[in-house]
Amino acid sequence: MAVAKRRIGVAMDFSPSSKNALKWAMENVIRKGDQLILVTVRPEGHYEKGEKQLREVTGSPFIPLTELSDPTTMKKYGVKHDPEIVDIVSAGAKQKEVEILMKVYRGDPREKLCEAINCIPLSCIIVGNRGLGKLKRAIMGSVSNYVVNNGSCAVTVVKHHV
């Protein structure tokens, strides 16, 4: 009987805390044969009508590692090309023999990360924590806290160390 691949998600907003979560995931969670899916949520964008309706429901298609390395392709999805992220996932893909993909959603990060858990579907998701104080967290809301309380899979929050 074949064992299903684990789909490990990492919430990626390209901040230091999300990069820290990615490094932690590579060192502590990812193992041979897994799929590592970087889940990125961008603000609402401008699309042609048909494409907008499709992207609102499904997010982008899966973007393979080869395309993550291409700045032009990343610009097409409204995502900044980040050589540091590419280096981290390229090294991990080679060392751990994992498949690296990215999926881009548009909208509220809290809701879209929870949606990604179910739609992809993910075995677990790792999110970074910016270390907001109580006041800022109360005003701005905490994405990681929302996903922990509303996500339908295991959620690991990696604290950001300054």
**Structure tokens given for 125:** 């998701």
Token reading at 153: 């899979």
Residue among 157, 160, 152, 161 nearest 10 (CA):
157
Burial of 47 (0-12, 13-18, 19+ CB in 10 A): middle
- pLDDT at 21 (0 to 100): 95
Strand order in the sheet with 63-64: 63-64, 99-106, 35-42, 7-11, 124-129, 154-159
Q: Helix, strand, or coil here: 63? A: strand
CATH number, span 7-159: 3.40.50.620
Kindly give the residue spans of alpha helices, DSSP state H, lying in 16-59. 16-28, 49-58
What is the reported pLDDT for 6? 95
Could you read off the pLDDT tens digit of each residue along the chain, which spans 162 residues?
556 689 999 999 998 999 999 999 999 999 999 999 999 998 876 554 444 444 555 688 999 999 999 999 898 888 989 999 999 999 989 999 999 999 999 999 999 999 999 999 999 999 998 766 565 555 445 888 899 999 999 999 998 764
- pTM passes above 0.95: no
Q: Where are the alpha helices (DSSP H) in the chain?
A: 16-28, 49-58, 65-68, 71-76, 83-96, 109-119, 134-140, 143-150
Per domain, the residue ranges of the chain are 7-159
The predicted structure's pLDDT at residue 115: 95
